[in-house]
Structure 1
Amino acid sequence: MGTLAGRTALVTGGSRGIGRGIAERLAREGALVGVHYGSNSAAAGQTVEAITAAGGRAFAVGAELGVPGDAEALWKAFDAGLAEAGAEPGLDILVNNAGIALNGQVQEVSEVDFDRVFAVNVKAPFFILQHGLERLRDGGRIVNISSGVTRIALPDVAAYSMTKGALNTLTFTLAHQLGARGITVNAVAPGFVVTDINPWLADPQQRAWAAGFSTLGRVGEVADIADVVAFLASDDSRWITGQYLDATGGSLLGVTGAAAG
């Protein structure tokens, strides 16, 4: 029996990268996991197959985010998946992981791209939460995937950084609101993580550059983030809420050597 046996989880953007790692980790702990995808149904199917092959339980949830009615469509698909799985209605763990990147300094970002990144990264999770609160059981868990760029200034991703800052604010605001129900709400902020979404990390020089940010001297792995989320989803984290957990491997904690002088 895992730490999440008997619980139901939904991981948005759960078909690839960090989201897939989180979905697999929660399933390994015994949760029934809804694996959300936006357009890549094949990737979601592969994730569900991997979970079931390992003895877990999962189902795919398809819904494009960042478009009108996205939250309603997601929950409709989730409810249908639950019914098909023979599970009781409701939810115990919601992980808001889905998001898109946007490169560009302030002077380089178009209004269209700005609106798009906020629609997916901010508006979608807000309304997913709004429509999901009635499904979320008392004592549940909400984990929002933020980013280390909310602590570390990177001008080349200015608008993207703003979206994750908004998610941080929503995290502690909602934690205060839901405390009476025993629901915890926390944010996890990854740094550089090796996934197929970051193919540039396959280059040894680029990987060494990224590893140099961490005081631990390496780049992150998907499991590094998934393990933190699994902890926050478990009873062991019951006294932690409204927090921003930095999971960047101690990136840019300070300066050393000659630079310190």
Structure 2
Amino acid sequence: MTHAGGGAGRAAAMRLAAAGALVAIHHTGDEQAADDVVRAIGEGGGCAFALGAELGGYGNVQRLFADLEAELTDRTGRADLDILVNSADDVDGVAPEHATPEEFDRLVAAGAKAPYFVIQRALRSLADGGRVINISRGAVEPVEPKAVAYAMAKGAVETLARHYAVALAPRGITVNSVAPGTTDDGERVGTVVAFLAGDDAGGITGAVFDADGSPVHGRPAG
């Protein structure tokens, strides 16, 4: 699970661990926050471990998954990945009239480039019947004036998810997105993620779930 040291990512990690999953808690530098999540999961009877890696480039993603697969093999005897939760990083917005090319590139890299290559690399080890769940902290709808570039990037990720849903349907892999929107209720996001990771959601793919309670859009799997 990427960027799982806090917020919606932490809530989702806690819920999946409570359901019996071995959870990899990824961080990009805040090792203490990731260790706190691992500790909290362990105190609740679950299993988790932390992995640190920047996700700004293709090579970083490759190294992250090499470390992940080695850790999974040591712990379980296999490198297969059953669930990928692709949680967005915390990114500060910038007013559209003030955005520089460098700031725009930073926002798009965090919001779209990193998730793209994470999903791409995960497909090497993602088991048939697996789950890909994207969590976006940035709202795609026009509710935050400073989130224009980031919202564009997250819109691209939702489009990516819909296309992957079709491409991966023959393998029984579902691809869905959860959009917290303006809510800070991580518990609600965790509940939606846990549902999408479970057997009852096996017939849902290409959907965007608004954790604020808006209607769900998507298509049946298969």
Same-fold call, TM cutoff 0.5? yes
- TM-score under structure 1 length normalisation: 0.78
Structure 1 residue aligned with 2:156: 166
TM-score computed with the length of structure 2 as normaliser: 0.91
Q: What is the CA–CA distance in structure 2 between the aligned matches of 1:224 and 1:86, rounded to whole Å?
A: 30
Letter matched to residue 120 of structure 1: A
Counterpart selection for 2:4 from 11, 14, 21: 14
Q: Match of 1:179? A: 169
Instruction: Determine if contact 1:62/1:77 at 8 Å carries over to the other structure.
Output: no
Taking the aligned partners of 1:226 and 1:232, their CA distance within structure 2 comes to: 10
Task: Give the aligned partner of residue 69 of structure 1.
Answer: 59
Cα displacement (A) at 1:68:
4.5
SS of the equivalent of 1:43 reads helix
* 2:188 aligned residue: 224
Deviation at 1:98? 3.0
Contact kept in structure 2, 1:25 and 1:227, CA below 8 Å:
yes
Query: Secondary structure, in 3 states, of the residue corresponding to 1:230?
Result: helix
1:86-119 alpha-carbon deviations (Å, 9 max, x no partner): 4421101001103232322322111111111211
* CA-CA distance at 1:250 after TM superposition: 4.3
- Whether 2:156 is the aligned partner of 1:192: answer no
- The 1:68–1:92 alpha-carbon spacing in structure 2 relative to 1, beyond 3 Å, is closer
Whether the aligned pair in 1 keeps the contact of 2:181 and 2:211 (CA below 8 Å) is yes
Gap regions ≥5 residues in structure 2: 216-222
Structure 1 unaligned segments of length 5 or more: list them. Answer: 1-10, 195-220, 252-261
Residues of 1 paired with 2:205 and 2:178: CA distance?
12
Matched, 1:115 2:138: no
Alpha-carbon distance between aligned partners in 2 of 1:83 and 1:121, rounded to the nearest angstrom: 30
The amino acid of 1:170's aligned partner reads: L
State how far apart, in whole Å, the 2-side matches of 1:13 and 1:90 are: 20
Query: Aligned-pair RMSD on alpha carbons?
Result: 1.7
Question: In 1, distance between residues paired with 2:114 and 2:165?
Answer: 18
Q: What residue identity is the alignment partner of 1:125?
A: P
Counterpart code for 1:95? V
| Equivalent residue pairs, number | 215
> Structure 1 CA distance, aligned partners of 2:9 and 2:73?
23
Contact 1:59–1:85 (8 Å) recurs in 2: no
For residues 26 and 137 of structure 2, the distance between their equivalents in structure 1, rounded to whole angstroms, comes to: 20
111 and 169 in structure 1: CA distance in 2 versus 1, 3 angstrom threshold: same
Matched letter for residue 167 of structure 1: V
SS at match of 1:156: helix
CA distance in structure 2 between the aligned counterparts of 1:160 and 1:105, rounded to whole angstroms: 11
Partner of residue 241 from structure 1, selected from 205, 213, 216: 205
Contact between 1:100 and 1:117, CA under 8 Å: does it hold in 2? no
* Contact map agreement 1:14 1:98 (CA 8 A) in 2: no
**Is the Cα contact below 8 Å between 2:73 and 2:79 reproduced in 1?**
yes
User: Does the 8 Å CA contact 1:63/1:77 hold for their aligned counterparts?
Assistant: no
Higher-Rg member (1/2): 1
Deviation at 1:12, TM superposition (A): 0.4
CA apart distance, 1:192: 2.4
Distance 2:75 2:42 in 1: 12
Map of 1:208 onto structure 2? none
User: Using a 3 Å threshold, how does the CA distance of structure 1 residues 131 and 114 change in structure 2: closer, same or farther?
Assistant: same
- Does the CA contact (< 8 Å) of 1:102 and 1:113 recur in 2? no
Is the partner of 1:243 in helix, strand or coil? strand
Q: Would you identify which runs of 4 or more consecutive aligned residues in structure 1 move more than 4 Å? A: none
Cα distance in 2, alignment partners of residues 50 and 128 from structure 1: 26
1:139 paired with 2:129, answer yes
